[in-house]
Amino acid sequence: MGDDLRQGPQITPLRLAHSLGSLRPTLHNGPGWRIGIWVQGCSLLCTDQCLNSHFLASDGGHLYKPAEVTAAILRVASIDFRPVEGVTVLGGEPTDQAVALVPVLHDLQEAGFTTMVYTGSTLSALRLRGEPAIDALLAATDLLVDGPFIPKLYDESLPWRGSRNQRIHCLTQRYDDAALTAAYDRQGKGYSISVGTDSILSVSGLQERAAAKDIELGCLHFITREGMAHHG
């Protein structure tokens, strides 16, 4: 991996849609207990039914050095009573920020955690780009969930994805299809709701905008301070 992708003198910040105060493990963003991070900004704009339409703008959110993000994830994983298996990157579009994500995912893999990344692009399209940063991102990804969200193909029975065109690719030996099926059978379908130390309401595990909005509206009266919600 080149120094440019391991963050040499010019450090490319990671733009997250939330602060690091909202990190927490859930059982609903992939196999096992996983800490989700949501990137801010999406250049793909694959659908007008995006689950996180407030994460599409490329100029919002919070900027962090990759090392800060890695340290925050490791800290939460070390103090939480739940056994954290890995990190899941959602968005927004993670591949837009490949340069900043590579050191985070690489270092988390080195620390023994698994990495899972969502993209509105496809694996074949990403490989065809032939960009070092994209290739490095794929090399640091154990599970890739790919493809645009297509509302007419929405199927609520799908594990960890929303529409039938989307696929889960095992890019390393860390998982295989049997392990994913077993994990989903154990964990089942569901969602979680949490409020971080930054007062952000998070709904995890839903893949469809209307369902997420209904739950948010049902929860918002419990929030005493104004906050933004995110889901995935």
What does the binding site for ligand SF4 look like in residue numbers (CB under 6 A)?
42, 44-47, 50, 52, 91-93, 120, 148-149
Closest-by-Cβ residue to ligand SF4 is 120
Nearer to ligand SF4, 27 or 56 (CB): 56
**Pick from 98, 96, 143, 97: nearest CA to 117:** 143
Question: Least distance (Å) from ligand SF4 to the CB of residue 120?
Answer: 2
Please state the separation of Cα 197 from the chain's center in Å.
19
Question: Least distance (Å) from ligand SF4 to the CB of residue 94?
Answer: 9
User: How far is it, in rounded angstroms, from Cα 169 to Cα 28?
Assistant: 18
Question: Least distance (Å) from ligand SF4 to the CB of residue 167?
Answer: 15
**Beta-strand relationship, 84-90 and 33-38:** parallel
Q: Residues 41, 55: contact at Cβ < 8 Å?
A: yes
Question: Least distance (Å) from ligand SF4 to the CB of residue 209?
Answer: 10
Nearer to ligand SF4, 31 or 147 (CB): 147
Nearer to ligand SF4, 25 or 91 (CB): 91
Question: Least distance (Å) from ligand SF4 to the CB of residue 81?
Answer: 32
Question: Least distance (Å) from ligand SF4 to the CB of residue 44?
Answer: 4
**Pick from 143, 141, 82: nearest CA to 108:** 141
Nearer to ligand SF4, 165 or 172 (CB): 165
Q: Which residues contact 131 (CB under 8 A, 6 or more apart)?
A: 98
Nearer to ligand SF4, 64 or 149 (CB): 149
Q: Is the dihedral of CA 159, 161, 166, 39 positive or negative?
A: negative
Nearer to ligand SF4, 30 or 91 (CB): 91
Nearer to ligand SF4, 93 or 216 (CB): 93
Question: Least distance (Å) from ligand SF4 to the CB of residue 122?
Answer: 11
Q: Which residues contact 60 (CB under 8 A, 6 or more apart)?
A: 17, 40, 41, 54
Two tokens, residue 220: 């918002």
User: How far is it, in rounded angstroms, from Cα 20 to Cα 225?
Assistant: 18
- DSSP-derived letter for residue 42 is -
Element (H, E) at 84: strand 84-90
